[in-house]
Amino acid sequence: MSDPPTLDDLHSGHHSTRLKKFDYIQPACYFVTICSQNRKCIFGNVQKNQMFLNGLGAIVQECWLQIPTHFPWTTLRDFVVMPNHIHAIIQIGCQLGRSNAAPLQKGNAGPHVAPGSLGAIVRSFKGAVTKRIHGELGVSRQVWQRNYHEKLLRPGQEVANARMYISENPQKWQRDQENPESSS
C-alpha cells in the first residue's frame, strides 16, 4: 500500500502546475484547490476533526454543487470546503454548453480562459460565490485569492489518492499547511 497523499503530491508546493499547451476542456479528472483571499478562515471551522460550515461556507458548498447546472458536461466528484479553501475533484466531459453563473465576457476574462474549460468553470464558481456572499450576507470583502491550483489526475491510483486526501482533510486540519494556526 502506498503512503497517503500529501498536499505536495496534489499541487506541487502551490506553484502553477498548468501544462503548457494542454487543453483544459479535454475530458479528464482534475484535483482543484481554491483558497480564500489571504487564506483567511472565513468558511467555518474544524471541531473534533469535522468541518462545520458557517453562512459563507454554506454558500460556497451550494455554488459548488450547482456547477453541473451551468456546465452540464461536468461531473462533481469528492470535495470538501475547509475554513480557508476548497479541495475538489471535477470531471470534465467534452461537450460545450452554457456558462451563465458568471458568464465570460469578451475582454474581461483574459486571453487564456476558453469557454467550457476548467478555468472558465472555476472563474464562474468564484464569481457566483462572491455575488451571493455580497448580495445575501452583505459582505463586501474580497472572497478569493487570485488564481487556483489544479492537477490533472490519471485514472486509478491518482484519483484514489486525491479522494483520500479530500476525505481526510478535516481530520488533518491541525497539521495542514493551509491552517494559519498549524503547528507544522
Detail the DSSP E strand segments found in the chain: 28-35, 44-47, 50-53, 74-81, 85-92, 149-153
Instruction: In whole angstroms, give the CA distance from residue 39 to residue 51.
Output: 16
The verdict on residue 16 lying in a domain is no
The verdict on residue 135 lying in a domain is yes
The verdict on residue 6 lying in a domain is no
The verdict on residue 54 lying in a domain is yes
The verdict on residue 180 lying in a domain is no
Q: Which domain holds residue 150?
A: 22-172
The verdict on residue 17 lying in a domain is no
The verdict on residue 85 lying in a domain is yes
| Domain harbouring 101, CATH code | 3.30.70.1290
The verdict on residue 4 lying in a domain is no
For the chain, 184 residues long, give each residue's pLDDT as a single digit of tens.
Answer: 445 455 445 544 444 455 555 556 678 899 999 999 999 999 999 999 999 999 999 999 999 999 999 999 899 999 999 999 999 999 998 444 444 444 444 444 444 667 888 999 999 999 999 999 999 988 888 999 988 999 999 889 999 999 999 999 999 998 888 788 876 5
Number of domains in the chain: 1
* pTM greater than the 0.95 cutoff: no
